[in-house]
Structure formats: C-alpha cells, structure tokens
C-alpha cells in the first residue's frame, strides 16, 4: 500500500513539474528586445569622476509589449571594467516598436589610468580597441531582459611621414 501511494505521489509531482515548465515557457517573450548604443556624450565634471550619458535604442521585435522599470549598463574595454550606471526610468516599448532612453554612467578612475598606461607603454597601438556592453532592463516579476553587445573600435592611423 505504501508503494502505491509513493508511485502516485511521484506521478503527481512529475505532472505538476511538467505544468510548471509549460507555464514558464508561455511567459517567455517571443523575441528578446535588441539594445543598441545610439550615442555616448560627456556630462559635466563632478569632482574627480568622469561621467557619460549613454543613449540606448531598445527595439521590440515581438508581438507583446516590453515593460521596464529600471536599467543597468556596464561597459568593458579590452576585457577590463570601464564604466557602469543605473537609471530608475520606467516605460514600455509597444509591440514591433522602439524607444530611446538615457543612462548616466560613471567611468572607473582606475580604468582611465590603466588605459593611459597601456597606451604609453605600447607606443603606437595598431590593434583596435575591443569593447563589450552588457546590461539589464528590469521588468515585472520574471520579465527582466539581459542584453549584450560587443565590437571593436578602430584606432585612427597617423598619416605617413614625408
């Protein structure tokens, strides 16, 4: 009798787990929003720290509205932490639509020093600067969206000397 009860409870647990997983899959958006950097502009100096204003374009390629109530952004340069920031901006991106939002970032002072030493020690740098942008759009429960973008910034070359 105990084995019959044990088998029944296992089947019930398995059925409940299946329903739970199916429910979670139904909550997932069709397509994740795409986030691109529109611009990076300097902000007025505030003491010893460098501040930047990053504008992000959020593109919603799905059939459902994306709601958000905060954003976190971090930028890494050559695999080193460079800048990060948050904003408690709230809004939504309607289906098949886009919006632009601004996030203030603080540049890590040690990152600036590290980059300056790297340029000074390396002489003329011929390789491009690698960057990585990561972040999160905070949403309602279980609806946060993480994003990531990376690439290279080519350095200008000096004109040939004559």
The answer to whether the pTM exceeds 0.85 is no
Residue 161 lies in a domain: no
pLDDT digit string, tens, across residues 51-76: 889 899 999 998 989 899 999 999 88
Q: What is the pLDDT of residue 39?
A: 85
Tell me: do 72 and 92 sit in the same domain. Answer: yes
CA-CA-CA-CA torsion sign (119, 83, 150, 157): negative
Strands (E), the chain: 34-42, 50-60, 66-68, 71-77, 80-87, 91-93, 97-107, 129-137, 145-153
Separation CA 67–CA 92 (nearest Å): 4
38-47, 93-102, 106-115, 129-138, range with the lowest pLDDT? 106-115
Q: Determine how β-strand 71-77 pairs with β-strand 80-87.
A: antiparallel
Domain CATH code at residue 84: 2.60.40.10
User: Domain of 95?
Assistant: 31-153
Residue 159 lies in a domain: no
Domains in the chain, number: 2
Q: pLDDT grade, residue 127 (50/70/90)?
A: confident
Question: What mean pLDDT is predicted for residues 144-160?
Answer: 74
CA-CA-CA-CA torsion sign (12, 17, 22, 26): positive
Chain center to CA of 35: 8
Phi, psi values for residue 117, rounded to 5°: -65, -40
pLDDT digit string, tens, across residues 76-86: 888 888 899 99
Tell me: do 1 and 37 sit in the same domain. Answer: no
What the block records as the tokens of 141 is 């429960």
In contact, 155 and 129? CB cutoff 8 Å? yes
In the predicted structure, residue 35 carries a pLDDT above the cut 80 = yes
pLDDT digit string, tens, across residues 85-98: 999 999 999 999 99
CA-CA-CA-CA torsion sign (8, 11, 13, 19): negative
């Amino acid at each position: 009798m105990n084995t019959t009860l044990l088998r029944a409870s296992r089947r019930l647990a398995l059925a409940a787990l299946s329903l739970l997983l199916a429910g979670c899959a139904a909550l997932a958006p069709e397509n994740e929003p795409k986030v691109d950097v529109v611009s990076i502009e300097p902000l007025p100096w505030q003491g010893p720290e460098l501040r930047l204003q990053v504008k992000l374009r959020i593109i919603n390629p799905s059939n459902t509205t994306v709601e958000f109530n905060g954003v976190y952004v971090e930028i890494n340069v050559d695999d080193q932490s460079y800048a990060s920031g948050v904003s408690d901006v709230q809004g939504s991106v309607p289906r098949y639509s886009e919006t632009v939002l601004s996030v203030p970032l603080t540049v890590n002072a040690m990152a600036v020093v590290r980059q300056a030493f790297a340029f000074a020690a390396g002489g003329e740098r011929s390789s491009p600067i690698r960057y990585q942008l990561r972040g999160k759009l905070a949403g309602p429960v279980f609806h946060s969206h993480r994003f990531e973008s990376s690439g290279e910034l080519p350095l200008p070359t000096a004109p040939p000397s004559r």
